[in-house]
């Protein structure tokens, strides 16, 4: 009997085949479109049905509901591989899996799972809407209200800000407070469809990085939501929000290691080609050491992301590990992409080469799904309890 646990980076046959298929999709379909998507500030609509067809939009969803019946670790592999090419295309896939499908799988009733998951795995993009203009880190201070409607159901009123996939999504998980006197224990999660009366998508943000990913405002103006679209128990939305983000953070960690890898791969190729002082700059030890340091930090971040995903899949506690993985991988990604811009010299500072985009895309990792300070707060809380 072999009882030695596998190395963290060891992949099963199924995982390896899946990763390779995603990597090929990223190279052949995403890469040729990256520049145009960046300029157009939108995901090429051609890519979205391809993501569905490849099973990337329902990785953890059971096959009987249209998904691939996979694991969070496979989500991690997919997000890393796509981010290596384009972090915007990757976040579309990441949000669908970790922030939309996951809470529906975990908290949805059988009827909700059967109603929404076959759509979310076949043709409908989803979004997760917690943040507002006045409540980001203090997410449970949200001002969106849910009130009982006269003829049954709920009326939602408020504005959500910063919602990833807002431009493309047809199904939104929206958090509102249905009992403000109860504080965060009044927060309830609702499943809202784009064509519901009183719902509209507002302004789209113009951003530093992940420019092709849509980040929009959502407007709820007496938006009527039927009772059967309440996700989980009334007043338990805060729990759904937190637990969903715990898983989501592993996906952001994967995005950051993918972005760092993309930049490092480009830099390794460049330093072998670029000649100064009569030889390739790769022959200078200073350059070699910068690359070695970057590769070492990237490996450490990858091990943390993989371990957090494996813990979650094994049903073990992973909150602190997920927060650490996101914190460190976003820091590493900023450092690695910054070094890579420098290794390209002046060319690295232009849009003619890919590294400036990786550098800009890196910054979001320290902000969304909880800023770095919020990750530190979670880690410290668990450490000191």
Q: Give the residue numbers annotated as catalytic, written as ranges.
A: 369
What is the rounded distance in angstroms from the CA atom of residue 343 to the CA atom of residue 270?
Answer: 8
CB of 276 to ligand FAD, least distance (A): 37
Find the shortest distance in angstroms from Cβ 140 to ligand FAD: 12
Q: How far is the CB of 242 from ligand FAD (least distance, A)?
A: 12
* Closer residue to ligand FAD (CB): 100 or 308: 100
**Sequential DSSP letters for 163-185:** EETTTT-SEEEEEEES-GGGGGG
221: DSSP letter: E
The closest of 182, 170, 177, 319 to 243, measured between CA atoms, is: 319
Smallest gap, in angstroms, from Cβ of residue 210 to ligand FAD?
6
- Between residues 19 and 363, which has the closer beta carbon with respect to ligand FAD? 363
Comparing CB distances to ligand FAD, the nearer of 106 and 274 is: 106
* CA angle centred on 218, ends 244 and 45, rounded to 5°: 85
3-state secondary structure of 17: helix
What backbone torsions phi and psi does residue 291 show, to the nearest 5 degrees? Answer: -65, -40
Contact residues for ligand FAD (CB under 6 A)?
128-131, 136-137, 162-164, 207, 210, 215, 364, 367-371, 373-374
Cβ-based nearer residue to ligand FAD, 135 or 338 = 135
Q: What are phi and psi of 154, to 5 degrees?
A: -130, 150
Beta-carbon contacts of residue 74 (< 8 Å; ≥ 6 apart): 15, 18, 59, 60, 68
Query: What is the nearest approach in angstroms of ligand FAD to the Cβ of residue 66?
Result: 23
Report which residue's Cβ sits closest to ligand FAD. Answer: 136
Q: Which is closer to ligand FAD, CB of 134 or CB of 345?
A: 134
Select 129 or 271, whichever has its Cβ closest to ligand FAD. 129
Distance of closest approach, residue 280 Cβ to ligand FAD, in angstroms: 38
Q: Which residues contact 10 (CB under 8 A, 6 or more apart)?
A: none
Quick one: angle between helices 319-343 and 372-384, nearest 10?
140
Distance, CA of 165 to CA of 172 (rounded, Å): 9
- What is the chain's length? 385
């Amino acid at each position: 009997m072999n009882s030695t646990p596998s190395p963290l980076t060891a992949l099963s046959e199924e995982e390896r085949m899946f990763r390779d298929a995603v990597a090929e999709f990223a190279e052949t379909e995403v890469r040729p479109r990256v520049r145009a998507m960046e300029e157009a500030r939108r995901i090429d609509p051609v890519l979205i049905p391809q993501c569905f067809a490849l099973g990337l939009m329902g990785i953890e969803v059971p096959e009987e509901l249209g998904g691939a019946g996979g694991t969070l670790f496979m989500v991690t592999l997919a997000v890393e591989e796509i981010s290596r090419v384009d972090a915007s295309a990757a976040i579309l896939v990441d949000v669908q899996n970790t922030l939309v499908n996951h809470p529906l799988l975990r908290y949805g009733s059988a009827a909700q799972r059967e109603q929404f998951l076959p759509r979310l795995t076949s043709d409908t993009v989803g979004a997760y809407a917690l943040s507002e203009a006045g409540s980001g880190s203090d997410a449970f201070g949200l001002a969106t209200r849910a009130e009982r409607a006269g003829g049954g159901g709920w009326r939602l009123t408020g504005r959500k800000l910063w919602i990833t996939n807002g431009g493309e999504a047809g199904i939104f998980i929206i958090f509102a407070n249905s009992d403000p006197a109860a504080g965060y224990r009044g927060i309830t999660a609702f499943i809202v469809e784009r064509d519901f009366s009183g719902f509209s998508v507002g302004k789209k943000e113009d951003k530093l990085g992940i420019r092709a990913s849509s980040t929009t405002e959502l407007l709820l103006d007496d938006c009527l939501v039927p009772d059967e679209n309440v996700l989980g128990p009334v007043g338990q939305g805060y729990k759904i929000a937190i637990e969903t983000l715990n898983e989501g953070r592993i996906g952001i960690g994967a995005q950051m290691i993918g972005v760092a890898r993309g930049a490092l791969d480009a830099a390794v190729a460049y330093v072998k080609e670029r000649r100064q002082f009569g030889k390739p700059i790769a022959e200078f030890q200073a350059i070699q050491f910068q690359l070695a340091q970057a590769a070492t930090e990237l490996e450490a971040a990858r091990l943390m992301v993989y371990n957090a995903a494996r813990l979650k899949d094994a049903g073990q506690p992973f909150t602190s590990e997920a927060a650490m993985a996101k914190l460190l991988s976003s820091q590493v990604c900023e450092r690695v992409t910054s070094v890579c811009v420098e290794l390209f010299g002046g060319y690295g500072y232009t849009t003619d080469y890919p590294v400036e985009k990786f550098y800009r895309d890196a910054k979001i990792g320290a902000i969304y799904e909880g800023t770095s300070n919020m990750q530190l707060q979670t880690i410290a809380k668990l450490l000191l309890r």
